[in-house]
Structure 1
Amino acid sequence: MLLGAECPGCRAAGLGLCAECRRVLAERSVLGGVIAGVPWCAAAEYEGAWSHCLVAYKERRAWTLARPLGRALAWSVAGLLGGESRIALVPVPSAPAVVRQRGEDVTQRLAREASAALVRVGCDATVERALRQTRGVQDQAGLDVAGRRRNLAGSMVAVSARSVPVVVVDDISTTGATLEEGVRAMVAGGRHVIGTAVVAATRRRDGRPQAWMGGSGHRSTPAHGRDD
């Protein structure tokens, strides 16, 4: 078993993340823009070690990656807070069949890790399962932006009426359609949504990156290589 182990980020032989992939996952890229009228933020571009680790976490049950990926999500959330000190992280819902197949609600687990990281730095952050799916949706792969929006339109509903400000969270943003539907449902349910946050975001299909907050692709590495 040990001889067959490999780093989920670069596939190098070894147990768990290698030193280089740990360094990459400690870096942050300031990506963001606006989705459904609220700001969104991502900690990294969906490429290289980030994409490999997210796939390993979601599809190959590499649960040990929940902590570094969750810390990245916490960083994205922190970029949206402004003066808010009490928030609820609302993960976008997964279909029950997908949760059974994966053995875990992967987005909810990332939200819990992000919440714990935010609490450690003094933010009153909780996780609230305030969204649920109202109908099935088809696989998004192969759909363009308009197709994804049509596929998801009206597919979520808010199921909680608390007054805590909300950040809608997900693991990856490709076109923003899922986050857009989550925001729509929460606003329709009377909730105050301050933004959306993801671990990583993909490039647009024309090869250009999604909007960068501040207009530049600034990368930062936490002091001493830590992100907590």
Structure 2
Amino acid sequence: MPRSSLLSVVVSSLTDALTFWLPLSCAGCGALDDALCPGCRGALAGARVDRAIEPGLTVSCALEFSGVTARVIRALKEDGRTGLARDLAPALAAVLRSVTPPGGLVVTVPSSATAFRRRGYRPVDLLVRRAGWSPERALRLRRAPGDQRGLGRAARRRNVGGAFVARGVNGRAVVVVDDVVTTGATLAEAVRALRAAGAGPVWAVALAHTPLRIASRGESHGIFT
């Protein structure tokens, strides 16, 4: 078994063990004895929103990153609650079905090596698999960008400029997926790398988008781009 797969199994097993011994609470509202209560699960029903992130590039998003959705995504990404991917996946699957052409590649924005070592899994890959697609690792990091916290739109673009390189996409239609989009700098840079590698039409998808009033101030939630 590859080392990355083994690490994912270990993390999942430890999470299951902790869930057995520690009180379970809803990731959305904190109610006890349920990983996600029916009300919070209902709040994850998606409605596609298309948002322009730069001229000629639109990202299709499934959810708004606020309230219950934001808390559930943070629990998935930062608390190791990987089972929540099953609850988030239907909204993402609906958007992927609406934009992915027959034979198109679904490519995920890569996590940094540091983030993978810390978590033991790649949240975007996990979400895409739960949504019913096999994610292609056609993108890789050429260099690790700096921390995006506190950076405005222009600074974020400079920070991720040249960060990605793509391969294996020449002439292929590609859908590139990220978890949460704020200014769109990371997705825009991923699209540029895919096009530079000869990809055909490229679509951008995100599980969730931050409200425009937050993104416009250049604020950051710390773990999203």
Alignment TM-score, normalising by the size of structure 1:
0.80
2:70 aligned with 1:51: yes
Contact 1:80-1:194 at 8 Å conserved across structures: no
Counterpart for residue 34 of structure 1: 52
Any conservation in 2 of the 1:40–1:80 contact (CA below 8 Å)?
A: no
The reply on whether 1:92 has 2:109 as its aligned counterpart is yes
Q: Point out where structure 2 has 5 or more consecutive residues left out of the alignment.
A: 1-19, 217-225
| 2:22 equivalent to 1:14 | no
1:134-155 Cα distance to aligned partner (Å, 9 max, x none)? 1121111111111100000010
Check if 1:149 corresponds to 2:157: yes
Structure having greater relative contact order (Cα 8 Å, sep ≥ 6) = 1
Q: Could you tell me which of 178, 182, 191 is aligned with 2:190?
A: 182
Please list every run of at least 4 consecutive aligned residues from structure 1 whose deviation after the TM superposition is greater than 3 angstroms. 161-164, 205-208
1:62 paired with 2:81, answer: yes
**Where do residues 191-210 of structure 1 align in structure 2 (5 Å cutoff)?**
191-205=199-213
RMSD: 1.9
Change in Cα spacing, 1:163 to 1:127, as seen in structure 2 (3 Å) is farther
Aligned with 1:150: secondary structure? helix
* Structure 2: distance between partners of 1:64 and 1:29: 22
Q: TM-score, normalised by structure 2?
A: 0.81
Larger helix fraction of residues? 2
Distance, in Å, in 2 between the alignment partners of 1:98 and 1:87 is 28
Q: How many pairs were matched up?
A: 196
The percentage of aligned residue pairs carrying the same residue is 38
Q: Which runs of 5+ in 1 are unaligned?
A: 117-124, 209-228
Give the Cα–Cα distance (whole angstroms) in 2 for the partners of residues 187 and 169 of structure 1: 15
Work out whether 1:74 is the aligned partner of 2:104. Answer: no
1:167 aligns with 2:186: no
